Amino acid sequence: MRTTRLILFLVFILILNGCNSSESTEKVESETKNELPAITIIADSEQSLALFKMEEKNIEEKFGVRLEYHYPDRMNDNLEDFLFASKKTYDIYMLFPAKIPEYVERDMLLPLDTYINSSKDIDDILPVYRNLYMKFDGHDYGMVYDGDTHLLFYRKDVFEMYNDEYKAEYGNNLEPPKTWDEYDRISKFLTKDQDNDGKIDLYGTAIFGGDAKRYIWFAERYNSMGGKYFDEEMNPLIQNELGVKALQDLIDLNDSGATPPNSMYDWIDLNNAFLHGNLAMVVQWSDTSRFSYDHKNWDSQVENKVGWTQVPADNPESPRGGVWIGRVLGISNQSSHPDKAWEIISYITSKEVSKKALTSKGTINDPFRYSHFNAVEKGAFPTKEINEEFLNTVKSSLTNPNADLMIPGGWEYMQALDENIQKALIHNSSAEEALQQTAAEWNEITQRYGRSVQANHYRQWLDLLEEVGTYEME
């Protein structure tokens, strides 16, 4: 008996020592990690940092640093409201390309010319991102991290279900709309009470109604009509007949009952409405394609039911879809570790690592390299064929694309437009009044920056936009 007790006692001691050893090892590892220099990153959302978190251990081992993240509780499109009022500095800024001019004006970004000129595979980045996303005023200030494109998503099963009814009423098959008139008509037609309980359970579409990005849903219509923001002397054109029609059509669609009532959707809400089966169509960023197969993060109810194509256009030769928003990584000019920050940026945006983001349902990154479109595998999709179809649609969207206004005050111009669109959508002003007010605010912004200076930047941006739309994807 004593022998048995002695053996049990020794076993207990061994187990205890093992636990203490494990706890000690974990403690040492934690203390060692905390001793590593921190590289701080600030971003608009936790979702946009997913790739960094996936690669955190590799970065720690490769570069001898620990990553420290800063982001709001929910995706914030105007993070700068906080950032510019704060005295805190970060090593890496994740920002929308359209905001680069504002950061440069505040002397917050380190020019990356030397880093980028010496980096490998820079020619692998598509010109639309290389020349529009990364550059401002002759210098590189950001490395592209997320190449956003807009696509039209539609429910294939719903279109098939109601095809005969639509054909009987309109004389042609129910297919994804190619023009905005078709889009509005189909949206109204596909708003249905499917279970006949007196309540709408399928809406034709929805728009981004939340702050900051609703201007895109208007601008796509306006630009596809041949609309321009300014004339050669920076006089606003947004309030012209085309602008009023584009905005009035959007208001009429919102008032028609074809969109969920009182919906002020942001990006997350809009995705949820479509992926949960409440919408027949939606214009969204291209990552919605792989989210439609994601049950874990998005609780998708539409797996294998979603198709995608180019965004409608009134004139097929006009810009459509394209590269709205996106993300680049810039280095603070007050960073204590700029070289180390660049090593991390170079790693996370490299061919190999950036491709991992496109094959994951947990990230929100979209293609931006030639290599992302080549050697196609199944990626985040069930089959190689579906991935290839998706990538070919993105390619089409990058031909003659829309893009954010990359001039000094570009984001400010668009936010003035965004706020006035909201007033029109809730009937606090008419379409004409909203755009006249926008034009007045745009003139004030232009005067503040200097009309001739702005006119020069605007001409350069138009030339560049035309140039990048002519590049071959192959």
- Dist CA 327 CA 148 (whole Å): 8
Three-class HEC string of 2-68: HHHHHHHHHHHHHHHHHHHHHHHHHHHHHHHHHHCCEEEEECCCCHHHHHHHHCHHHHHHHHCCEEE
- Dist CA 215 CA 394 (whole Å): 21
Q: What 8-state DSSP symbol labels residue 171?
A: S
Amino acid identity, residue 6? L
- Dist CA 387 CA 287 (whole Å): 12
Low-confidence ranges of the chain (pLDDT < 70): 1-34, 74-77, 471-474
Angle between helices 338-348 and 351-358 (to 10 degrees): 60
Here the contacts of 173-178 (C-beta below 8 Å, separation 24 or greater) are 176/152, 176/281, 176/307, 176/309, 177/152, 177/281, 177/312, 178/312, 178/313, 178/316
Placement of tokens 């010496």 in the chain: 118
List the one residue out of 409, 333, 324, 326 whose CA is nearest residue 141: 333
CB 314 within 8 Å of CB 225: yes
- Among the residues of 450-474, which ranges form H helices? 451-468
Placement of tokens 């002759």 in the chain: 138
Angle between helices 163-170 and 180-189 (to 10 degrees): 120
pLDDT score at 25? 42
Q: What 8-state DSSP symbol labels residue 165?
A: H
CB 204 within 8 Å of CB 186: yes
Amino acid identity, residue 269? D
List the one residue out of 43, 95, 99 whose CA is nearest residue 67: 43
How open is the CA angle 431-150-190, to the nearest 5 degrees?
A: 70
Hey, which residues does 279 pair with through a beta bridge?
A: 203
